[in-house]
Structure formats: structure tokens, C-alpha cells
Structure 1
Amino acid sequence: MAGESDQQPKSESRPSRLYSGGERPYDPEDLVMATGADPTPERVEKARKLIEKEGPQVIERYLP
């Protein structure tokens, strides 16, 4: 029974595992939306530069 508590119930509306983003690729638009802002060209460009500078784990600071 070890490991059963680690598993989340499967649902058609969400994946069986949730990922924060640092371990999967995401777009600069995703980073902008994770901050709660609308993706404008200026914000997307700023997010792209932030991803280049700090790496893909930067999105984790905005996710719960």
C-alpha cells in the first residue's frame, strides 16, 4: 500500500499528475498568464527575456 497516497485520483478533466512548469517546456505567454496579467507583446517579450536569463524554473515563483 506504499505509494497509494502519492497518487491523485484520475479525472478526465485534469491530468493524473500536475507539473509546475520547470520540468516541462512552456511559452512566454504562459509565464505572463501565470503572473495574472494579460499577454501583451511587451509583457511576452519581457517574459521571454526572463526565461532566457533565469531558466525555465522561473515560472515556479508564480505558481502555488
Structure 2
Amino acid sequence: MTEQIRQPLEEEPEVLDAIEDDVAVEAFVTGGGPDADTPEFVAPGELPAIRTGAGQPWDPEDLAEAEGKDPTPAHVEYAREELERDGAAAIERTVP
């Protein structure tokens, strides 16, 4: 049986064509804002703006659903009690 020797994937014609066709796709251009490739740095001693789940208002129904429960009256009442008792910590436990 003769074994066929394959060339490396990066030398395949399709790959070479794709490399030569390296152009920006408008849908993926971010305009230079912060993203995974261009992070935003803060000055030493300056605190970064951290957004957490508790940084927005929450209804008991939302908390019950975030905990994976159906928004039944009992679950909603329990979530309401959690929000009253623990405040933002109730949300941070579920949606950090």
C-alpha cells in the first residue's frame, strides 16, 4: 500500500487564498473602542469601572428566574425577602 504524503495545511491552496484575501469585514470593525484586542487601561491608583449584576435594579421575579426557578408566587416571595434582607448580595450570589 502506498501512503500519500500530504502537504501542511497552511500550504493548501484554499488556505493560501484565504490568507491573501485578508481584508477587514465591516461587521467586525469596532471603531477602535475597547474590546478584547484593545483593552482600556486605567492610571495607577485609579479604580476601574466595574459593572456587576447588582449594578441595575432587580425585581423579585427577575431574581427568582435568575436562580433557575419558575416565578411562582412562593418563589417570588422568597426572592423579595432575599432582596429586602441581603440587598445587592442576593443578586451577586446568583449573577456576579
Please indicate the TM-score interval, normalised by the length of the shorter structure. Answer: 0.5 to 0.7
DSSP 3-state at the match of 2:75: helix
Q: Is contact 1:25–1:56 with CA below 8 Å preserved after alignment?
A: no
**Any gaps of 5 or more consecutive residues in structure 2?**
1-31, 41-50
State which structure, 1 or 2, has the greater radius of gyration over its C-alpha atoms.
2
Matched, 1:37 2:94: no
Counterpart residue number, 2:78: 46
1:5 corresponds, among 20, 27, 39, to 39
Matched, 1:57 2:84: no
Give the Cα separation in 2 of the matches to 1:26 and 1:63. Answer: 11
DSSP 3-state at the match of 1:5: coil
**Structure with the greater relative contact order (CA < 8 A, sep ≥ 6): 1 or 2?**
1
Normalising to structure 1: TM-score of the pair? 0.65
Give runs of ≥4 in structure 1 deviating > 2 Å.
Answer: none
Q: Once superposed, what is the RMSD of the aligned Cα atoms?
A: 2.3
Normalising to structure 2: TM-score of the pair? 0.45
